[in-house]
Amino acid sequence: MKKVVLAFMALSLLSINFANAQEENKTQDFKKWQVRVRGVGVIPTESAEIGVIGGDANISNTFIPELDFTYFFTKNIAAELILGTTKHDVKTVGSDISAVGGPTNASVDLGSVYLLPPTLTLQYHFFPTEEKIFKPYIGAGINYTIFYNQEAGSVVKGIEYENAFGFAGQLGFDLMLDDTFFINVDIKKLFLSTDVTVDASNLAAGLSIPAKVDIDPWLLGFGVGMKF
Can you say how many angstroms the Cα of residue 153 is from the centroid of all Cα atoms in its chain?
27
Structure confidence at residue 132 (pLDDT): 87
Q: What is the Cβ-side half-sphere exposure of residue 207, based on CA atoms within 13 angstroms?
A: 16
Torsion sign across C-alpha atoms 47, 85, 69, 73: negative
Distance of CA 131 to the CA centre of its chain: 31
Render pLDDT for 38-94 as a digit per residue (tens, 0 to 9): 999 999 999 999 999 999 999 999 999 999 999 999 999 999 999 999 999 999 999
**Mind giving me the DSSP string for 46-102?**
-EEEETTT--EEEE--EEEEEEEEEEESSSSEEEEEEE--EEEEEEEEEE--GGGT-
* Per-residue pLDDT tens listing for the chain (228 residues): 444 333 434 434 444 444 443 444 444 567 999 999 999 999 999 999 999 999 999 999 999 999 999 999 999 999 999 999 999 999 999 999 998 889 999 999 999 999 999 999 999 999 998 888 999 999 999 999 999 999 999 999 999 999 999 999 999 999 999 999 999 999 999 999 999 999 999 999 999 999 999 999 999 999 999 999
Domain boundaries, the chain: 1-30, 31-227
Q: CA nearest 60: which of 36, 96, 89? A: 89
Region 31-227: CATH code: 2.40.160.20
How many whole angstroms separate alpha carbon 115 and alpha carbon 150? 10
